[in-house]
């Protein structure tokens, strides 16, 4: 028997996507209304699951006609509150946009739907003996559309750059319901600025991305990793010039002792190096078409560390991938994803340590060393959340860093964006937003500070 849908917008959406794909009941909406951290939540007017680009266009048009705001949601693994409703928006989930084209072996590119997970994309690439360059712990759930919209980074940025460097073009639906398609994948084109470039990192505020044309990279079958313990964080930073000279360098990850400890405790394993033996641990990964073991061993030979081959390398990656999960299992932290010029990391770490000591909070820091990108997690800051955020982000900006290296601004950091970018940049971004979305229906409250 057909459900009675009393909301005229929901009823219009049912006409577009079918009754099974418009979720109005509170219990079925619930998982779409809370973020991965369990920190951000709000009520959705309804959740809609379009299955094609044309359905997305019709959904956006209907929302526009009803003056209803849209929060586009991919895997909902974002950590800054941008993928869940604040109150009354329509959640448009991309879960059914799972187009997975065959790899274009001539161009080393592939076209996939926005709702395809990073893991499924990697699998598709590997069927053609290629690989997708961007990788991180949430790969099984995070989607291509989410990665595009947050300009996701992860562990291989040192070699291949962020998501921005992988995007050859996008298909997207604008706020008026028009479809813009830029999936040709031409590596050279100078016919004016590209809308696709602008949409990367726009956090669902400029368009609903429905598909992406992505660059693929070689799939390296030979790998070697090492975990190195350093007496100071400055010593860890000092490893970078030598590591960068390795042609097979694929990742340089930083684990401060507490991060190594919580991840290993969560996995129920003994840390590969005793936690108390170093002030900072560096996880180095090399990948190549030949065995890179000797190359890596030559650089780490004189350092306190362990080489990790085969299953031990997998174990190191499991540890690295589980830090965020392990922290989430302990509690909801104050989480700040920032980057500073890499030589200033020790200064930032000292500040975080002193703030944690002052508040009796637990600080767990890890990240991507080569980019000076650390994830600062503070557990037990009590009511000092806003004050601590202010102190750390202000210091990061003073150091010439950024308040978001890979997670985005979401709703968590809008108040600091103008200080980072300056008023003229914010005015220009606002003008772009107004031109593309005059009603302000795409993810309001995210990215740009309220006027």
Ligand X SMILES: Cc1cc2nc3c(=O)[nH]c(=O)nc-3n(C[C@H](O)[C@H](O)[C@H](O)COP(=O)(O)OP(=O)(O)OC[C@H]3O[C@@H](n4cnc5c(N)ncnc54)[C@H](O)[C@@H]3O)c2cc1C
Cβ atoms of residues 76 and 117 within 8 Å:
no
Which region among 13-21, 142-150, 224-232, 310-318 touches ligand X (by CB under 6 A)?
142-150
* Residue of 80, 10, 50 lying closest to 415 (CA atoms): 80
Does the protein bind ligand X through residue 293 (CB under 6 A)? no
Does the protein bind ligand X through residue 208 (CB under 6 A)? yes
Stretch 76-105: interaction string toward ligand X, x if CB under 6 A: xxxx--xx----------x-----------
| Residue among 93 and 363 whose Cβ is closer to ligand X | 93
Rg of the chain, C-alpha, whole Å? 22
Q: Are strands 222-230 and 280-288 parallel, antiparallel or unpaired?
A: antiparallel
- Dihedral sign, CA of 163, 165, 169, 173? positive
Does the protein bind ligand X through residue 74 (CB under 6 A)? yes
Instruction: Report, in Å, the least distance between residue 136 CB and ligand X.
Output: 3
Does the protein bind ligand X through residue 377 (CB under 6 A)? no
User: Could you tell me the two tokens for 248?
Assistant: 């097979």
207 three-class SS: coil
Query: From start to end of 117-243, where are the E strands?
Result: 130-131, 167-173, 179-181, 208-215, 217-218, 222-230
Instruction: Report, in Å, the least distance between residue 144 CB and ligand X.
Output: 8
Does the protein bind ligand X through residue 154 (CB under 6 A)? yes
Instruction: Report, in Å, the least distance between residue 74 CB and ligand X.
Output: 3
| Residue among 74 and 177 whose Cβ is closer to ligand X | 74
Among 145, 177, 292, 333, binds ligand X (CB under 6 A): 145
Does the protein bind ligand X through residue 414 (CB under 6 A)? no
* C-alpha–C-alpha distance, residues 381 and 358, integer Å: 10
User: Could you tell me the two tokens for 266?
Assistant: 């969560």
| Residue among 84 and 355 whose Cβ is closer to ligand X | 84
HSE of 384, CA atoms in CB hemisphere, 13 A: 14
Which region among 135-143, 189-197, 216-224, 377-385 touches ligand X (by CB under 6 A)?
135-143
**Please, which residues bridge with residue 169 across strands?**
213
User: Tokens 């991840």 belong to which residue?
Assistant: 263
Does the protein bind ligand X through residue 73 (CB under 6 A)? yes
| Binding residues vs ligand X (CB under 6 A) | 36, 71-79, 82-83, 94, 114, 136-138, 142-143, 145-147, 149-150, 152-154, 203-204, 208-209, 324-325, 406-407, 443, 446
């Amino acid at each position: 028997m057909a459900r009675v849908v009393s909301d005229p917008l929901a009823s219009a959406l049912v006409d577009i996507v079918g009754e099974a794909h418009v979720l109005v009941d509170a219990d079925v909406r619930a998982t779409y209304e809370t973020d991965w951290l369990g920190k951000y939540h709000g009520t959705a007017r309804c959740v809609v699951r379009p299955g094609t680009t044309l359905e997305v266009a019709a959904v956006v048009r209907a929302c526009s006609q009803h003056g209803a705001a849209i929060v586009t949601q991919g895997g909902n693994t974002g950590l800054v509150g941008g993928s869940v409703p604040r109150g009354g928006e329509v959640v448009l989930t991309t879960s059914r946009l799972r187009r997975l084209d065959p790899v274009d072996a001539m161009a080393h590119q592939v076209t996939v739907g926005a709702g395809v997970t990073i893991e499924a994309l990697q699998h598709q690439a590997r069927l053609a003996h290629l690989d997708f360059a961007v990788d991180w712990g949430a790969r099984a759930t995070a989607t291509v559309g989410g990665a595009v919209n947050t300009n996701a980074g992860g562990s291989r940025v040192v070699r291949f750059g962020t998501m921005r460097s992988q995007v050859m073009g996008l298909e997207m639906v604008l706020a008026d319901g028009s479809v813009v398609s830029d999936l040709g994948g031409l590596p050279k084109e100078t016919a004016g600025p590209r809308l696709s470039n602008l949409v990367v990192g726009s956090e669902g505020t400029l368009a609903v991305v429905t598909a992406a044309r992505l660059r693929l990279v070689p799939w390296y079958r030979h790998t070697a990793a090492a975990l190195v313990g350093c007496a100071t964080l400055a010593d860890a930073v000092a490893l970078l010039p030598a590591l960068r000279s390795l042609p097979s360098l694929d990742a340089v990850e930083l684990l401060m002792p507490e991060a190594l400890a919580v991840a290993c405790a969560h996995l129920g394993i003994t840390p590969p190096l005793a936690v108390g033996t170093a002030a900072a641990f560096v996880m180095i990964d090399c990948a190549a078409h030949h065995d890179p073991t000797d190359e890596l061993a030559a650089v780490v030979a004189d350092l306190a560390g362990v080489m990790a081959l085969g299953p031990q390398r997998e174990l190191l990656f499991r540890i690295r991938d589980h830090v965020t999960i392990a922290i989430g299992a302990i509690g909801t932290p104050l989480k700040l994803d920032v980057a500073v010029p890499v030589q200033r990391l020790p200064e930032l770490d000292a500040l975080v340590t002193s703030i944690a000591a002052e508040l009796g909070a637990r600080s767990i820091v890890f990240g991507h060393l080569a980019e000076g990108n650390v994830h600062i997690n503070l557990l037990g800051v009590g009511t000092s959340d806003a004050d601590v955020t202010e102190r750390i982000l202000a210091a990061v900006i003073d150091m010439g860093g950024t308040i978001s290296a890979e997670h985005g601004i979401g709703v968590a950091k809008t108040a600091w964006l103008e200080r980072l970018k300056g008023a003229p940049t914010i005015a220009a971004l606002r003008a772009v937003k107004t031109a593309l979305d005059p009603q302000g229906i795409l993810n309001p409250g995210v990215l740009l500070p309220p006027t």
